[in-house]
Structure 1
Amino acid sequence: MRGLPGSGKTVELRFLDAPLSELLRRVGTRKAAAGDSEPLITGERLAEWSQRSQAPDEAELGLFDTPETI
């Protein structure tokens, strides 16, 4: 999945591994700031998604270009 050699393009995989409790806190904070009455992302959905996803291993990360440091 690396960028096409000579094209100047890169393909990066960025994975942020935050605990479910932190994700719930962030959704709640954003919801409150936006004044939304009902979140699009619920705690139940976050819990379900967290069971379906996993952190990439070194082999998978090796398929991508090294991310630039921001």
Structure 2
Amino acid sequence: MTFTQRVTIKHALFTARVSYEKNLATAQAMCAQGFTEALSLIDYWEKAIREVDDARDAMDALTAKQAA
């Protein structure tokens, strides 16, 4: 994998995580205002953030393996 490919993937993961965090904050604010329907959104965005973190960790492991 080239350096450019790694940077592109890491940037996409970072951008996704920031977006997901904003969406999670919005869902939490909705719950705080009494919209209990937003509870499922909180679960969804928390799971999405974990998946992005897992993908980032896998990318870091791949980069380390290629460097070795």
Fold conserved (TM > 0.5)?
no
Q: Which has the higher contact order (CA 8 A, sep 6+)?
A: 1
Structure with the greater alpha carbon radius of gyration: 1
